[in-house]
Amino acid sequence: MTTSDIAATPVAANAARYDRVTMTFHWLTALAVVILFGTAFWWNALPGGTPLRKWLQAFHISVALLFVAVFIGRLVWRWFGARKLPSANTGAVARLERGVHRLLYLLLAAQIVLGFALRWAQGEPFFFFGLFSVPEILGPSKDWEKIFEPLHNAVGWAIIYLAGAHALAALFHHYVLRDGVLRRMIPGRA
């Protein structure tokens, strides 16, 4: 692998930036993933039935419902309005980059479906910040809960690992390759 396989020239990488809507969706997604993972991680360290644990679960569900809207908005924007930028990478690294992005989208979609399925299987209501509830589609089922819960947890960890690798790659571009790739997704002045 040569240097040209890792990154394009700094001029090519700096040529354009993502539009503000794309940046907003990207950073809202990152924030939601951190909050959702953090709340789940935190409540699992608490004894069952405690008020803080119940509050964290309720907050997690409300943020998850917000995330569904962000995710759908992000997909629609990506398909119909987003500025498409060429990869800063070439060859195998460019294919790996595309694969990681597609896998992240797939995992995020799977996590949404698994989250809904798990909550319905648990037989507990979904409340959005106490304002309204999501209607129940599936009835409670301990058997399904035993399937959905470990899947939801495994996909959550996979998202964290993959998003972490994505962030490390962005930092590698910024601090080692110094090619301007990270600046394409940072709001503000170029």
Low-confidence ranges of the chain (pLDDT < 70): 1-15, 189-190
- pLDDT score for 190: 55
Which DSSP string corresponds to 137-183? -S---HHHHHHHHHHHHHHHHHHHHHHHHHHHHHHHIIIII--STGG
Identify the CATH number of the domain defined by range 15-185: 1.20.950.20
- pLDDT score for 9: 42
Q: List the domain boundaries for the chain.
A: 15-185
- pLDDT score for 15: 53
User: pLDDT of 117-163, one tens digit each?
Assistant: 999 999 988 899 999 999 988 889 999 999 999 999 999 999 999 99
What end-to-end distance do the CA atoms of the chain give, in Å?
A: 30
Give burial (CB, 10 Å; 0-12/13-18/19+) of 141: middle
